Chains A and B, each alone.
Chain A
Amino acid sequence: MEALSIRSMFQVSIMFYVIAAVISLVFIKKQRLCNTASNLICAAGSVFGMSASILKIFSEESLIAIHIFQSSIPFISADIKIDNLSAFFVLSLSILVFCVSLYSIGYISTYVGKRNVGLFNFLYSTFILSMFFVMTSGNAVFFLLAWEAMALISYFLVVYEGEYEENQAAGTLYIIMTHVGTVFLMIGLMLVFSHTKSFDIFGSSVGIPILAKNIIFILFLVGFGAKAGVIPLHIWLPYAHPAAPSNVSALMSGVMIKTAVYGIFRFIFFFLGAAHIWWGITIVILGVLSTVLGVAYAYIMSDMKKTLAYSSIENIGIIFIGLGVSFIALAQGNLMVGSLATVAALLHTFNHSLFKGSLFLGVGSIQYSTHTKNIEKLGGLIKKMPITALFVLGGAISISSIVPFNGFIGEWFVLQSLFANIVSGKAILNLLSIISAAALALAGALAIATFVKLYGISFLGLPRSEHALQAKEVPVIMNIGVGIPVVLCLIIGVFPMLLLRVADKVVFDLLGVSLFGQLKGGLMIVYHPLKIPGSVISPAAALIALTIIAVLAMLVIRVIGGKYIERRYGTWDCGFEALNSRMQYSGEAFSNPIKIVFRMLFRPSNELRAVGGSTYFPESLEYVTEFELIFEKYIYNPAVYLMQLFSNRAKVKIQAGSIHSYLIYIFVTLIVLMTYNRFA
């Protein structure tokens, strides 16, 4: 009975998304109505999805199966199977969809009358649906179909504002990279099929020999890594996220790249099993690379959405470190550390979708009211948009993993699992853990700097442009959309047990080990499983302590300093007439020290040019600073060059223009295939 109702709730959720898609096409002429209606329906669907997945995780039912359709043609059937892992990801999807849908009611209304809003809503709801299917599909063929649908729909959303050339280029890069990834996945799944003769995701991989398993692992890692945006497969991400409308970027960064994490859980962790230590080591190394480089690039970007995109790469890196540690631990049979690391990866996946979602939405609000996402043109927004400022601050604190917010919890668990993975007698593995922990700490510091820059330059100080001066607070509905995830971030941050209980249930389902007994301590306190006194943390206590300290400090200042009198003076301006916005610290200036410290990575070049007048008395000065994106320059550009060279050669040699030679190609292919048929 219970399982039945959960199943029907999932079905209702799917139906709502379908209805939203249909409605947006039916009312394509009445844009405002269409936008409100379809977004509200999506939000309603997400409420069902949320409650169904929570119920699912805490129900006794192990697997909920829904058949959408089945056909007599082999392997062509759409069936959904939801276990706890799927339910966890669906929960994360649904929460974000709820917020983003509310937000979109306001955000998309700027497009009314200018663009095809109905089409956008259609794409939006089918995009959600495709992600839902990716997370819940029961067979590999359906999974690939949903995966491709997700890639294509998100491509169309990325190029929704397609009149700008950079958006087209971003879309093209994205679709190429995602298809390269899909090719790897396809080959991997075919290899699986050739050994198991089944496309069942929940099947067993016992029949696959070791060598094939290793090859399949690499194929899956590349395939999912391209979608997740792990360095060095990340190049599409910093272009595609800024190009898409902000609500779509929130979904793409919050959930879509997590489908790759889901895929790694489902196909490598769950299906292949953690067979070798080197799998884990590879994943950890990729994670460390992404974490450090991702945040380093995030720090120097002046486009806010690019910063957030690179920070997504960083967070994916953190998730990968957690995953990798769990692979290493499980391959050695250390179930406890393995489950700790898995919980860490799941926690950070969930948390990241919340705070990254809220940050992208917050930046969308800024873009909505100032029409720019360039940090150098903003400033002083805290006075114009106080509510947005508050929420973005919450998101920024959370993503910088500072205590009372949830970003801290995930990273703390990743670090704990790294420390727990250090055991005597395994020098190289220990070295890896220590270096990873150090890298994670470095990345944490850089992340704080990144978000101090993002928040400080855009919200504090004086407005740097007319747009920033004219900024107004966004509609309430948009603020609600930004606010809900921030509030959730705070709640989870203060009471981590709420989320830990869910994640622990999921991991128990996967590994059969429950951490929960060792995390006891009520709702407020998190113990580390090793019961070392130093590794206990209680975010709630930290919050209380913080408040007490702040109040005490205020009191002390009052008591010692006496009553202070408010005086309103102009700031001393060195004898200039008035302070203007150009005298402030700019974003570029803020990031320059790091650029110089890490000049090996960024290879910055500065140039001071005189403009107008004579050389000695120029009318104005121009300061140009540039940096290199090393992966693009040294890996992708040569690859693209080789491809183009090959294509040009092929055009001359193979595609000679003669119809006879084309016919001969067909003929020869036929002959070769028939010969193959003889010997196969």
Chain B
Amino acid sequence: MFSYFDVLSVQILFSSFILMANKRIKSYIKTFRIQSLLIALTAGAMGFSLEKGRIDLLVVCLLIIVLKVILIPNMLEKTYASVEYIVEKDFILNIPILVILSCALVVFSYFSVSTIEGINSGIINAQIVNSMSVILIGLFFMISRKKAIGQIVGFLVVENGLYVTALFSTHGLPFIVDLGVFIDVLTAVVIMGFMVFNISEKFDSIDIEKLNKLRG
């Protein structure tokens, strides 16, 4: 019935695969832009298609475009420009292995989610599986990257995944919840950008492997 939602969710999943395969930090941010745009599209499409016509979802769509497609990536690019000059290998394992592991994560989330009652009537709800996979891949992305910007983008992808999961499973959260989530993310990014800047000042690098003093 909502086949174009299926298509969108697959595209969002695919964008996170692209993210996993990216080599350069600048392209992380670009991919994040694309993924956020896809999510905005999903929200917008949902706002039009649902029988009652959820206007607040359209507002959410606009918010996503302003915040996650324009504002946050711009901020990240600015931070990146001010801290890092040298291009070096950023990932722990090599790209093909990372992508294969991500595939395994998709299979795993299918394996895990398929038994939840209520979200699938007869056939497995592919949208939920896809968006759960986005969460896992985002987290995995955070693990696989060494530079702090990679962690920020990974965090944002996890957040995107959570939001999409919520969107697909509820067809529109209460508006106030949406607003809260967006403001949280914005604050988080502002703080993290600031922290990255400080880290680079202190350590002359944003490689988080050098931050190993955090222990009780």
Contact = CB atoms under 8 A, between A and B. Distances in A.
Interface in A382-430: none
A671 B109 CA distance: 9
Interface in B172-216: 208-209, 211-216
Q: How many interface residues does chain B have, given as a range?
A: 20 to 34
Interface in B132-148: 136, 139-140, 142-143
Nearest to A658: B212
Contacts of B111: 678
B112 A657 contact: no
B139 A667 contact: yes
A670 B139 contact: yes
Residue of B92, B140, B209, B214 contacting most chain A CB atoms (<10 Å): B214
B112 A651 contact: no
B151 interface: yes
Contacts of B209: 658, 660
Given A651-B216, A675-B112, A678-B112, A659 B211 contact: yes
Given A656-B215, A660-B208, A674 B109 contact: yes
A107 B210 CA distance: 58
A70 B114 CA distance: 36
A663 B115 contact: no
B5 interface: no
A663 B139 contact: yes
B22 to A, nearest CB: 18
Contacts of B151: 659, 663
A161 B49 CA distance: 64
Q: How many interface residues does chain A have, given as a range?
A: 10 to 19
B112 to A, nearest CB: 4
A664 interface: yes
Interface in B82-123: 92, 108-109, 111-116
A660 B139 contact: no
Contacts of A670: 136, 139
A651 B214 contact: no
A677 B108 contact: no
B108 A674 contact: yes
A667 B215 contact: no
A655 B215 CA distance: 6
A657 B143 contact: no
B109 A667 contact: no
21 contacts: A655-B215, A655-B216, A657-B214, A658-B209, A658-B212, A659-B211, A660-B92, A663-B139, A663-B142, A663-B143, A663-B151, A667-B136, A667-B139, A667-B140, A667-B143, A670-B136, A670-B139, A674-B109, A674-B112, A678-B114, A678-B115
Interface of A: 651, 655-660, 663-664, 666-667, 670-671, 674-675, 677-678
Interface of B: 92, 108-109, 111-116, 136, 139-140, 142-143, 151, 208-209, 211-216
Query: Which 4 pairs, one residue from A and one from B, show the smallest C-beta to C-beta distance?
Result: A674-B112, A657-B212, A657-B215, A655-B215
